[in-house]
Amino acid sequence: MANLEQTINDLLQSLKSLPLDFTQLNAIENKIQTKQFNLVVIGQFKRGKSTLINALIGKDILPSSVLPLTSIVTIINFGEQKAVVCFKDGLCKTIELSDISFFVTEKYNPNNKLNVEYVEVFYPAEFLKNSVRIIDTPGIGSVYEHNSDCSYQFLPKADASLFVLSPDPPITQAEIEFLKDASKYIDKFFFLLNKIDNFKPSELREIIDFNSSILENLFSKKVYIIPISAKLALEAKLEANQQKQQQSNIQELYDRLEEFIKKEQSNVFWVSIINNIIRYTDMQLNFFKINLASLSMSKAKLEEKIKVFEDSLVKLEVDDYIYWLENKTKGVINVLDEDIDDLKKNQLPKLTAKINDYFNTLKISSTSMLNEQLKTYLQEQIEEIFSAFLQSENQKIGKLIGEIYNNLTAKVNTLIDSIIKTAEEVFEVKLSKLAQTKQLTEKSEFYFLIKEQPGALNIMGDFFKSKMPLFLGKKIIYKSIGERSIELFDRHCGRLRFDFVKRIKETSEKFKFEVENKLAQSIDAIKNILNAALKKQNDVQRQQEINKIESYTNLLNLIKNNLEKLKIKLTKNEQI
């Protein structure tokens, strides 16, 4: 591979001879120097990705939970045992492995309030010796949509992927859509079906067949899914338990990864490098293309075309998309209000009945003890009711917001396509790749605190903590307890609604900003090139610029052709 590396480095140096932005090239060069292979673990939230990684490295390092968890990318490298957290301001600090959860989880770092960029873990695991590093990405399709965004943003850095599925449920539309995008960057996927210990063999076979058919239709080739239990595999490692090792079927994954590392890793690594450089050259070619089109016109004609282009933009009716978004947001709030009304109608009578029943069964010797018992019981009942509601409502509202997000992204992409098509028609040049329609970077996040502040659930107040005789205090308490339960229930409903509405509206505002920002970027990218062309005041200047750009374009096309030839040879395992 020495010849291949030298060839690619020579092509990179040729690119650096052009007047381009080298930021992406510098990152590619750094990856070539380190030979670092990124094995990215991807999947929907709660598929068991973190548990799988812990099993691969043989230590329970990454946190796991019954709720959507990871909000920060975690990178696991070979090295002396330690963890380093790096923040968005560029500062990094070493932490204990046991403190990782304080930086990477929604529980301790909701919506990444600590501004963590990533966490890097070093551990002397055998699996990591071959310059392989494992990347734990946030779960896609979580109600914490910023998790999905983070996973999308990491795709260009991935070389191969462990894509984790599970039977509960089978592959979802969110995963299918993610795979469509991921396949543009990643050539090698290992598909895993986790949590096999929870299902019968006949059920697993049916689920595997179903998932395989979906994936094969998506990729137009045969797909193999490895069934595993990450939970049993981790327990087997920690306990040195051979029986659990066999039950987990993790050895099949180990064998396939080992074979891949021996036979395919190098080729996949270089194909990933080549793909990144090709994407870079395509982007630069597009900018040069519109430059040539604008420079080929006289100043008068170019000004005329710019006027036509700007007039066409006015007709695109961007405000219609904002109006659509506002109406959809109101619709989500209406759904929330209906669900809260149903919660009151169904659960409040049950709560008051439970409190009364519990009250009648208590055998208490003092008013203060009665106060504490009822306070504790009511707290538990409130938390149980609202925890269940929040779990289902988070999913429901998150899904509705996700649907709005996806529809809005499609609408924005269509609008950007219209801008590009308008520019194509006005300037008579193909610009389909000039503005890449990326997905919006901001989505929704939901968080609600059920626990009351100390003292807020004091049902009877300080008066009943006195030495009042039990026979008097009990009568007064019995009379007021139903009323206090209703009041407390309503208070929670109000707080819950306020929190959800606030976050829904904040999300809508972020969507609105993203729509306007993406459209402005697309329009400005074209206008900047056109205005630069206007500055060329005479035919000599224009021709000189055209000659330079044509020479740049010829070199870029030559580099791209050479890269594509290298890629074909690598995929065919031919000698280079």
- pTM, full prediction: 0.53
pLDDT tens by residue, the chain, 576 residues: 668 888 998 999 999 888 877 777 888 888 888 787 889 998 887 788 889 999 999 888 888 654 444 467 889 999 999 999 998 888 899 999 989 988 888 778 877 788 888 899 999 988 888 778 898 887 665 433 433 444 445 666 788 899 999 988 888 887 888 888 788 778 889 999 999 998 888 899 999 999 999 999 999 999 999 999 999 999 999 999 999 999 999 999 989 988 887 778 888 888 888 988 988 888 788 778 777 877 877 777 878 877 887 777 777 666 777 788 889 889 999 999 999 999 999 999 998 888 888 878 877 666 677 777 777 888 888 888 888 888 788 778 877 887 787 777 777 777 777 777 777 777 666 653 433 333 333 333 333 333 333 333 343 343 344 444 555 556 666 666 777 788 888 888 988 898 888 888 887 887 787 777 777 777 777 777 777 777 765 677 778 888 888 999 999 999 999 999 998 888 877 766
User: Could you tell me if 188 and 161 are in contact, meaning their C-beta atoms sit under 8 angstroms apart?
Assistant: yes
Q: What is the CATH number of the domain that holds 90?
A: 3.40.50.300
Distance CA 149, CA 107 (A): 18
Using the 3D structure, point to which of 198, 228, 263 is the last residue of a domain: 263
* 523 domain residue, yes or no: yes
The reply to whether 167 and 85 lie within a common domain is yes
Distance CA 277, CA 379 (A): 59
The reply to whether 250 and 368 lie within a common domain is no
Distance CA 45, CA 143 (A): 9
- Domain of residue 352, residue span: 317-535
* 559 domain residue, yes or no: no
* 93 domain residue, yes or no: yes
* 24 domain residue, yes or no: no
Distance CA 299, CA 291 (A): 14
Which residues fall within 8 angstroms of residue 412, CB to CB, at 6 or more apart? 321, 437, 440, 514, 515, 518, 519
The reply to whether 322 and 418 lie within a common domain is yes
The reply to whether 491 and 365 lie within a common domain is yes
* 486 domain residue, yes or no: yes
- Could you give the C-alpha distances from 85 to 50, 148, 161, 169, 211, in angstroms and in order? 17, 21, 23, 33, 37
In terms of C-beta density within 10 A (0-12 exposed, 13-18 middle, 19 or more buried), how is residue 505 classed?
middle
Q: Give the pairing type, strands 116-122 and 132-136.
A: unpaired
* Nearest CA-CA partner of 337 in 493, 132, 174, 154: 493
Which residues fall within 8 angstroms of residue 18, CB to CB, at 6 or more apart? 284, 552, 555, 556
Rg, C-alpha atoms of the chain: 30
Q: How many distinct structural domains can be found in the chain?
A: 2
Distance CA 433, CA 460 (A): 68
Backbone angles phi, psi at 21, to 5 degrees: -80, 120
The reply to whether 223 and 326 lie within a common domain is no
Q: Residue 490 corresponds to which tokens in the numbers above?
A: 């309503």
Give just the sign of the alpha carbon dihedral 486, 487, 492, 496: positive
Residue 20 backbone zone (phi > 0: left; psi -120 to 50: alpha; other: beta): beta
User: Could you tell me if 563 and 272 are in contact, meaning their C-beta atoms sit under 8 angstroms apart?
Assistant: no
The reply to whether 352 and 210 lie within a common domain is no
Using the 3D structure, point to which of 229, 263, 297 is the last residue of a domain: 263
* 7 domain residue, yes or no: no
User: Could you tell me if 89 and 77 are in contact, meaning their C-beta atoms sit under 8 angstroms apart?
Assistant: no
Distance CA 62, CA 54 (A): 6
Distance CA 143, CA 166 (A): 18
The reply to whether 412 and 523 lie within a common domain is yes
Our measurement of the distance from residue 55's CA atom to the centroid of its chain's CA atoms, rounded to an integer in Å, reads: 23
Distance CA 402, CA 488 (A): 32
Distance CA 277, CA 175 (A): 27
The reply to whether 234 and 349 lie within a common domain is no
* 479 domain residue, yes or no: yes
Q: Which residues partner with 83 through β-bridges?
A: 95, 121
- Could you give the C-alpha distances from 92 to 3, 24, 80, 95, in angstroms and in order? 37, 23, 17, 10
The reply to whether 259 and 323 lie within a common domain is no
The reply to whether 233 and 359 lie within a common domain is no
* 223 domain residue, yes or no: yes
Using the 3D structure, point to which of 244, 263, 282 is the last residue of a domain: 263
Is residue 245 classed as helix, strand or coil in its secondary structure?
helix
